[in-house]
Structure 1
Amino acid sequence: MSIEGKAKEAAGFVKEELNEHGDTPEAKKKAQEGRDLRNEGRIEDGKAPKTTEPGTGAKE
């Protein structure tokens, strides 16, 4: 696991969590950017990207 991958996954998670409940198009865009960054970090670390709906608590 790379430090860079972990950092991207953590930063993407935070960005998504901060914006996922926003109603504006800008908030939705930022939440998607967070998901993309999180998945990019997961892929770098050899994990599968998360494909479930955010906030569902679904297992990977």
Structure 2
Amino acid sequence: MSVKGEIKEGAGYVKEELNEHGKDPESKRKAQEGRDLRNEGRIEDCKSPKTTPPGSGHPEK
């Protein structure tokens, strides 16, 4: 696992969690940016990306 990948995944997680419950389009956009950053970090660490939409509550497989 790379440190850079872990940092990206952690930062993406925080950004996604902070914005996933917002009702406005800006919150949804920021939540998706967080998900994208999180997946980028996961791919760098040879993990599969999350495929469910942000805030869907689906457990990771």
Q: Give the TM-score taking structure 2 as reference length.
A: 0.89
> 2:33 & 2:60 partners in 1: Cα distance?
22
| SS state at 1:46 partner | coil
Structure 1 residue 52, shift from structure 2 partner: 2.5
Q: Percent identity?
A: 67
Partners of 2:60 and 2:44 in 1: CA distance: 20
> C-alpha distance in 1, partners of 2:60/2:30?
24
- Please list every run of 5 or more consecutive structure 1 residues that lacks an aligned counterpart in the other structure: none
Matched, 1:30 2:30: yes
Unaligned runs of 5+ in 2: none
CA RMSD across the alignment:
1.2
In structure 2, how many angstroms separate the alpha carbons of the residues matched to 1:24 and 1:57?
22
AA at the equivalent of 2:60: K
**CA separation in 2, counterparts of 1:22 and 1:56?**
15
Please tell me whether the aligned partners of residues 6 and 45 of structure 1 are also in contact (alpha carbons under 8 angstroms): yes
Q: Distance in 1 between matches of 2:3 and 2:19?
A: 25
Which one is further off, 3-12 or 48-57? 48-57
**Structure 1 runs (4+) greater than 6 angstroms displaced:** none
